[in-house]
Structure 1
């Protein structure tokens, strides 16, 4: 019994820091455990859009919406990741998303996070509960990995716990908590620093392999921008550790090998993603300068995040939006990080962190360096939000805060130390106090900005005064040091929890994609068909219910899909900008017939054009082409009777290589989509052999899945089977089990030659980029496993041999 007690005590002592981290993070997510709420902004679904707005969902006047700028979570991140996980759990690689934009790659889009390491939870939990565990787990990992790095750097347990806690709950990680992938990717940064540091100190295979695995898992986590930022961190660390020695050259070589091995392990994700990037809209969708960098006014948000207001209180008046407040760490952590300057002369880690922090700020704000990178679009900088590099600023601040706490624990602070650490914070608070006062006379924000700014400086100012008081107590009486440091830690928890709780939404589980009669009607219709939803339901929402749409939103998508939507809206693909938000405004476009748009959702409106349960269907649908087939309260489902089937035969075609001419032809009112298609290259058979004849055909789907379809075709003569799903590299066809060519038809879609008679046409998505990446990944995993096995078992064998010899 005594032995068991000792073992339990030893276990608790060893793992108590990790249990403490779990306790702190669980405390932040207390609503999950106490009220069974989930960290998904379900209120945005049911409280903003129809058909859900027609129902109250247990509330007297409808569902209140807490944070309107978390819309990406429910309109982009959750649907894509859910589709990827469901496909993966069915035993199929989640390669293709047929639910939006007429079909686009799924896994190749990083943010689908198809192979995220945390997806393992879905083998045991449903989509919503699994998502909840993922959100919590990423914060725990961020804290744990930061703790482990600080311990390696000889920071005390208390200092390491503080650093881990601050990083896990700081600006970037709190704001993007529910984007599920951003924080997990960020969590691996301190772990990669750890194994890079170890590899540069002493080459050990186990450290190198763990570096490779960490890098690969970061890439697979779903937010590649973090990996992009991790590369200069590794380079800077290599420079800081550089020595003119042969041994360092060998260490550098080994480091490079293990980094390449990490890229190899992630090749199954990287190769398809690089292929998609090369064919995407990203190059023609640059961010404006206003959104590329942080305005210098945002410095105040490092310690007072709500100075410019908050979208959750509907009083935000500042530049950009609240999601750029990623630099927040709070008064206490900022002070501790500045306090670490006391040891900067003697500690290389502190030097490294301050240099990295300075570089981060240079790139995040508009400086000559950052502007040059943006202006010349170096490494695609024009398509990215440079200010998201502030994740490194919060990491540096958190790590430095750990060092700062150790100084507070072990050394007596001089007035000079406190002056250096407190003065920058005090100056920022005072400067923005006067800035807020000056707003009273402006015409842009005026009195509201003044009131909001002053009010939201109160708590940071109180925290600053509280910090000064605690420091005074600690200096006056050494016996109060432990008590004072405990107060500082509690104050840090208060600052970070308050910040995170105010921004993040926790919803009742029944508000997360609930069904309605309109949705039930659509899901019960025979597939395949598409529904134009955006006038009622935002893009991508329908995808969660298995409803396919011609519109859609994606951070990265094939540019041709975007250009086709421009054509549907009646725009010019040469002059119109293509965007990630694929919204169709022209819901009566004839091009919708071509893409199998069988149903169109619309709102009934009253005489003042307001949604109404007793209202009328818009005048534009008073046309023989349309039929009102279903209504529920304010929403009507319009059948497009001119909609063509997903697949049909054509016996007449033209060949045109100009994309612009193809779209102009398709946009002509007299173009008969069911009679003729436009190809981009010639086929072997002459048109004269089939034209002028009367053709009969029957086409039916035997199987329809996103990545595999079987179609039975019976045709009276040779022709082309047209399928209104996106043409993209990796799609292949077989006719009666024999390979057949797929031609790009009508700008975006597919056509397969089919001979006279009855045939079975199989369409499969099996891209070479995925297969090549898979082979590289398998080889890399084999190499990593071999190196690890040789390292572990080789040492044991050597030790055994040495003992025998002795």
Structure 2
């Protein structure tokens, strides 16, 4: 009992260490500092971090989605539609976009908090899911025979790893991944009902891509664990059916929308598309970042975020965001994970899972069967996102490796150390080759990269020395085992500290004078913020103003939109009004802008909004001009049409299936409880 209490205290301490500011100091766990790069919030405070377009999604997508869902529930309405995006179309689907996740039970937090305190829910939700994931890995590791210290190393490694920390500001990522250890634990215990319930939560969590990774990993574990047991496979079928039925009210509308969305496949997947998608996987030189994570830069440093790049089949450069290729799990855990993979027979499944998912993350042939056989896989991007599964498997392997230390031969331990040092050297060579092959117009030299990466390399050497001490002294010094846990935590905390910034709650979508004017004069009008120079790079966009979804926060109707899934017809109409030019920025087809005054007029905008630093002289009356916004009035513009209130048939069917599943689950649970009670008597 005392040991369990110490473990619980340790996990709680780690969680509170990461989230003490949003939980207790009144700060929002939201990337609201990214707003200060744009009008009308520019100048309200100095941006503390560099522009990071992926973290920006946390404030421009998830906050408006959670807010609109909470508004709907508190008004006693189904959150079917967001009427404030793509407003000329009567709004855009909200429940069916998947990542709004209105039916995911833990998201009730946001509805209970309400509009005023919604910001608090993001820190609370992230903390609870991180604690959930850590506790799940600990329980799974113990069930697999790992010692308490090894299990602590496993949950510490995963909870603080790069694939987790870098995605915390996009909540659905962790919401889906956090249930993986619990799902595997249910499969390990052969509990079909628990596995079905957990699978339903995974699907409801909102991130269908990560949910697919989780369910495929669970399926692979079941295949290995159960073999040819007909009874066990019957349980798997029950679990799968239960999961699908429980999630049907949210998943079925998403599938229906996907067929009519901008992501809808226009033809069968082919090898050319496969090669293009694979180019977004980790480039070979990312082998270096397993030990030196910031060698190519870090967004918190404000430079070098895109020095790491891959190549498309046509020879073009394919850069990516730091988070998409973040693979760091700590040097000591990495060494122990390799030891566990080779020295622990019980860890073979997780060794195979780690290896295969890493091959997938690097965009290799390992993706081929899923690309052609799994529906929807070909429409997803960034193979590197499966690194969250790799980190999970490697974390468990680290726990096995820590336990294997006393019995592992010196030769094996030295081999692990030499292998990691060798991978560091190969990574350096690949990085040099990468930089030398970049176009001369980038003006990046190996000397530049080495100068920036040298501190990280030196730190990697320090951690390798400490890791060598753990490997070589572990069998003789029992205290080395808890020290290894401490070193892993220190390494990962020192790397990830400050990646996710917090700000005072008042910094989350403050109301500026220009916004107040719109709220007073344009409550029902169609509004067109003009954005034509958006940036997915390390420099913030020029003349950007009120990006899509921000008007949702203020209850105003935007012609533009930004969503995971939306009707293709909405984008097509905006594209037609933009003289056929693509209204989306390069590399992000989810965000649709109004780029020209002509498009705004053609779409019926009553008010056209521009950044004060944008050169614009339209033949319209300026009704507001301030340091935050310039607003023009189009007398021929219109008000937004009413949103659709029709409940889609897919939702009705999903609710019926979910009701039947809950009834079946309750009945089976009661029958099981009675059976246990009878056996005891």
TM-score of the alignment, normalized to the shorter chain, above 0.5 = yes
Pairing 1:148-187 to 2, within 5 Å after superposition: 148-187=139-178
| TM superposition shift of 1:138 | 1.3
Question: Which residue number corresponds to residue 133 of structure 1?
Answer: 124
| TM superposition shift of 1:421 | 1.9
Question: Which residue number corresponds to residue 780 of structure 1?
Answer: 661
C-alpha distance in 1 between matches for 2:577 and 2:629: 23
TM-score, normalisation: structure 2: 0.87
- Give the superposed CA RMSD: 2.7
Contact 1:532–1:597 (8 Å) recurs in 2? yes
| TM superposition shift of 1:361 | 2.1
**Are positions 1:588 and 2:469 aligned together?**
no
Cα gap change, 1:378 to 1:219, in 2 (>3 Å): closer
**Are positions 1:557 and 2:554 aligned together?**
no
C-alpha distance in 1 between matches for 2:585 and 2:516: 36
**Whose RCO is larger (CA < 8 A, sep 6+)?**
2
| TM superposition shift of 1:31 | 3.3
TM-score, normalisation: structure 1: 0.74
C-alpha distance in 2 between matches for 1:373 and 1:187: 23
| TM superposition shift of 1:551 | 0.4
| TM superposition shift of 1:324 | 2.0
| TM superposition shift of 1:574 | 14
Which 10-residue stretch deviates more, 132-141 or 230-239? 230-239
Question: Which residue number corresponds to residue 21 of structure 2?
Answer: 31
Question: Which residue number corresponds to residue 504 of structure 1?
Answer: 500
| TM superposition shift of 1:638 | 0.7
Contact 2:61–2:562 (8 Å) recurs in 1? yes
C-alpha distance in 2 between matches for 1:387 and 1:119: 27
C-alpha distance in 1 between matches for 2:325 and 2:589: 24
Question: Which residue number corresponds to residue 192 of structure 1?
Answer: 183
Identify which of 616, 619, 625 aligns with 1:618. Answer: 616
| TM superposition shift of 1:489 | 1.6
1:299-330 deviation line (CA, Å, top 9, x unaligned): 22222211111122122211122012332211
Question: Which residue number corresponds to residue 384 of structure 1?
Answer: 381
Gapped runs of 5+ residues in structure 1?
A: 1-9, 200-206, 606-610, 612-616, 648-703, 707-730, 732-763, 801-806
**What SS does the corresponding residue of 1:537 show, helix, strand or coil?**
coil
Pairing 1:389-468 to 2, within 5 Å after superposition: 389-408=386-405, 411-434=406-429, 443=440, 445-446=444-445, 447-468=447-468
Question: Which residue number corresponds to residue 490 of structure 1?
Answer: 486
Contact 1:533–1:542 (8 Å) recurs in 2? no
**Are positions 1:514 and 2:495 aligned together?**
no
Cα gap change, 1:337 to 1:99, in 2 (>3 Å): same
**What SS does the corresponding residue of 1:524 show, helix, strand or coil?**
helix
1:55-109 deviation line (CA, Å, top 9, x unaligned): 444xxxx333345231111111221122112212332221111111121110111
| TM superposition shift of 1:371 | 5.1
**Are positions 1:99 and 2:80 aligned together?**
no
| TM superposition shift of 1:15 | 3.8
Question: Which residue number corresponds to residue 236 of structure 1?
Answer: 220
Which 10-residue stretch deviates more, 180-189 or 312-321? 312-321
**Are positions 1:632 and 2:626 aligned together?**
yes
1:624-674 deviation line (CA, Å, top 9, x unaligned): xx2211122252111111113445xxxxxxxxxxxxxxxxxxxxxxxxxxx
Cα gap change, 1:63 to 1:771, in 2 (>3 Å): same
Cα gap change, 1:782 to 1:557, in 2 (>3 Å): same
C-alpha distance in 1 between matches for 2:201 and 2:285: 36
Cα gap change, 1:385 to 1:631, in 2 (>3 Å): same
C-alpha distance in 2 between matches for 1:643 and 1:575: 23
Pairing 1:371-770 to 2, within 5 Å after superposition: 374=371, 379-408=376-405, 411-434=406-429, 443=440, 445-446=444-445, 447-475=447-475, 478=476, 480-482=477-479, 484-525=480-521, 527-535=523-531, 536-571=545-580, 579-589=589-599, 592-593=600-601, 595-605=603-613, 618-619=616-617, 621=618, 623=619, 626-646=620-640, 706=643, 731=644, 764-770=645-651
Contact 1:302–1:325 (8 Å) recurs in 2? no
C-alpha distance in 2 between matches for 1:176 and 1:459: 24
Contact 1:556–1:580 (8 Å) recurs in 2? yes
| TM superposition shift of 1:381 | 2.0
C-alpha distance in 2 between matches for 1:122 and 1:576: 31
Contact 1:21–1:144 (8 Å) recurs in 2? yes
Which 10-residue stretch deviates more, 462-471 or 332-341? 462-471
Cα gap change, 1:51 to 1:124, in 2 (>3 Å): same
Contact 1:292–1:382 (8 Å) recurs in 2? no
Which 10-residue stretch deviates more, 544-553 or 520-529? 520-529
**Are positions 1:337 and 2:337 aligned together?**
yes
**What SS does the corresponding residue of 1:17 show, helix, strand or coil?**
helix
C-alpha distance in 1 between matches for 2:399 and 2:373: 38
